[in-house]
Chains A and B, each alone.
Chain A
Amino acid sequence: MAGTAVRGRLSWQVATVASVTDETDSVRTIALDLPDWPGHHAGQHLDVRLTAEDGYSAERSYSIASADGESVAITVERLADGEVSPYLTRELRPGDQMEVRGPIGDWFTWGPEDGGPLLLIAGGSGVVPLRAILRRWQRSGSNVPARLLYSSRSLEDVIYRQELDQYRGSAEVRYTLTRRQPAGWNGFAGRVDDAMLARIAWPASERPLAFICGPTPFVEAVAELLVARHYHGSRVKTERFGGA
């Protein structure tokens, strides 16, 4: 069994698109059929390789949107000048094929044995692995408290809104909208700053475990804010996303 798991992880395997779901105008979730998938942990990612008819190929990494035991899905944001993301978010259809390698990454993962309290901070599409972690948290019945602070440009850009709203009463989910807020909005507005963290971050004395994911400048700014709040470096895990 262990041998099979290693082989599945190391080599590229063919994935077939099972379904596509548009989350927002520019974000799509793609569910994949992967017959040899060895299983994954929340927070991990996979590598995708696309090959064109002329043999040209491109590889990209995407966080897995689903938790341990769930079928594999990725959530992709379309970048205007991207080469791969416009294809995945507009062209790709159920039945299409790609190659996948993974799961990858055993640093930026969470399981109930890792404890908490859990602080998840997402910038834009950085919410993808944190959504997987929150699903794992809920499905495991973990009794550590969990909070998600999710920064988006506007409410229309919030991914998984309905799902995240259903955590009300169990995990605390807060949004901050940086560019536009709808009329009557009483959530956070503007970039994550110390004043906002003062209202949502666990005190360092509780030895929280933080996961920050999003574009590099977002992650670095937030990590610095948490360290300034005396979060221990080893309990602040970061994953930086770039363009594609």
Chain B
Amino acid sequence: MTSPVSRGFHRLSRPGDALSGRLPPGQHATADFPVLSAGPTPHTPLHEWTFSIRRAGETLRTWTWPEFMDMPAETVTVDIHCVTRWSKLGTVWRGVPVPAFLDQVAHDARYVVAFSDGGYTSNLPAQDVTGGQAWVAFGYDGQPLPPEHGGPARLLVPHLYFWKSAKWVRGLDLLDHDQPGFWETYGYNNYGDPWREQRYAGD
């Protein structure tokens, strides 16, 4: 049975609305910023917050919030693409480039896994968090990053589907072998390039 068309119903944002050259395949532009999560919003107080680089179960280096705030931050404007098919163009973030952390520990790891309060993880090749591609973001749209969007700090990796940009990030594990993160374990693509529409495992 084919579904009957509901006369006059259409998706909220229509193809003509956005600069379609900026939309990866299967995406539509949205004006709002949907809040999606896999669990309750954590509320780690800033005086308890730390960001750590770990390897083989050992913490190599930890930054407190004041130390994080002392690091060189930049403001970037990027397009973000959620695997649930919405994209938000021209989002403005403030954050510290991930290399600023990684450069302070000697490593040759090929993979990183971002880990967050609440247990969420996302995995990335180390080369995907090098210069100009990834930040630990603490500001959005000129304001401190709100908790529902991952505040006080989240990973920001806009060239991949946004589930890779782990909210409430607390650090990176350095690995020699890739290890699927949360959504990757449940059937999502290990890499997640929106321009090649790598949504699910095997795409």
Q: Would A and B touch once assembled, by the CB under 8 A criterion?
A: yes
A residues within 8 Å of B by Cβ?
Answer: 12, 14, 49-54, 56-58, 81, 83-84, 87, 91-93, 96-99
Chain B: residues with Cβ within 8 Å of the partner, total of 12
**CB within 8 Å of A: which B36-76 residues:** none
Q: Is the CB of B32 within 8 A of A51?
A: no
Quick one: which of B1, B5, B12, B32 contacts A53, CB cutoff 8 A? B5
On B, residues with C-beta under 8 Å from A are 1, 3-12, 32
Q: Once the chains are docked, how many angstroms separate the CA of A12 from the CA of B10?
A: 20
Q: Interface majority SS on B: helix, strand, loop or mixed?
A: loop
Contact B6 A12 (CB under 8 A): no
Contact A14–B4 (Cβ < 8 Å): yes
Q: Is the CB of A97 within 8 A of B6?
A: yes
- Assess whether B7 is in contact with A96, with CB atoms less than 8 Å apart: yes
> Which chain A residues border B8 with CB–CB below 8 Å?
87, 91-92, 96
CB distance A52 to B11 under 8 Å?
Answer: yes
17 intermolecular pairs with C-beta atoms under 8 Å apart: A14-B4, A49-B3, A50-B6, A51-B3, A51-B9, A52-B10, A53-B5, A53-B10, A56-B10, A58-B9, A83-B12, A84-B9, A87-B9, A92-B6, A92-B8, A96-B6, A96-B8
Question: Please, which residue of chain B has its CB at the minimum distance from the CB of A82?
Answer: B12
Chain B residues with Cβ below 8 Å from A56 are 10-11
By the criterion CB–CB under 8 Å, are B9 and A12 in contact? no
Residue of A nearest to B12 (CB): A83
A143 CB to closest chain B CB (Å) equals 42
Give 9 nearest A-B pairs by CB, closest first. Answer: A50-B6, A51-B3, A97-B4, A83-B12, A50-B9, A52-B10, A91-B8, A56-B11, A52-B9
